[in-house]
Structure 1
């Protein structure tokens, strides 16, 4: 599995920011308040970090294998996919929060909703960035260590 590219995450965040700006401009009167949905992003980030710490410990202690007392390699691969998905979700959320903040900041004096929604927009932006970091940390924790032999696990050349 290849690692998620930072340029992909930046592009996703940019598209989400533009979409948020345009959607808020078009539908401001009929949108519900942002609220505390950003807390969910922080919970997912905490789960990602805890999984990464557990996986790093299992890899460094040699606790990866198919025994019941070991962490299964398929579980680690699934966690790597979770890390990539978390990074992409964090980029979407961070971009969305940036688009909202860029819409509300210049309108602080003229819109009542701007002063009410700006703190939540910034919270979405920050929690999205935290989720990107946690997702990338989980993805990097799931990498296999390099082989000790020079032949990549193959037999000696004849």
Structure 2
């Protein structure tokens, strides 16, 4: 399995951003106000994944006390990280689309002005989730992983 790269995530975020922006332009007047902390759930996920990645990294590298990590646990953590990075980029695209619509409108429309903090909190939380998911994914690498490279850039051999 290869590690997640930006080229894997950017298309999903871009497609989501365009779709949400077009939807917002058509339906903004019909939508209820956004709760200020609507995107904060993503922040909670980011904190949990960061902490999980930190604990997992120490156990995999044997730098912290605890049982060695079972392969199935590492595989599940990797699946969680990949799914979370995809969720994060999709939500980042959606929140940026909302922000792109409400920010210019906020000078004229009171509802848009009230939705700006929600969009900012959502976008920041989504970006933090992406970072935490990528951290969790990198924490699943073993020290003797062939994907690791020496200082000179050559791949390790077994």
Structure 2 length normalisation: TM-score? 0.85
Q: Which runs of 4+ in 1 moved over 2 A?
A: 68-71
CA–CA distance in structure 2, aligned partners of residues 106 and 55 of structure 1: 43
Q: 2:80 aligns with which of 75, 79, 82?
A: 82
**Alignment partner of 1:47 is 2:48:** yes
Give ranges in structure 2 of 5+ residues lacking alignment.
147-155
Q: How much does 1:147 deviate?
A: 6.1
Q: How much does 1:60 deviate?
A: 1.5
Q: 1:144 aligns with which of 142, 145, 149?
A: 142
**Alignment partner of 1:29 is 2:55:** no
CA–CA distance in structure 2, aligned partners of residues 69 and 85 of structure 1: 26
Give ranges in structure 1 of 5+ residues lacking alignment.
153-158
CA RMSD of aligned residues (A): 2.1
Q: How much does 1:151 deviate?
A: 5.9
Size of the aligned set, in residue pairs, is: 147
CA–CA distance in structure 2, aligned partners of residues 7 and 104 of structure 1: 28
The 1:15/1:145 distance shift into structure 2, 3 A limit, reads same
Structure 1 length normalisation: TM-score? 0.85
CA–CA distance in structure 1, aligned partners of residues 33 and 85 of structure 2: 25
Q: Which has the larger radius of gyration?
A: 1
Match of 2:95 in 1: 97
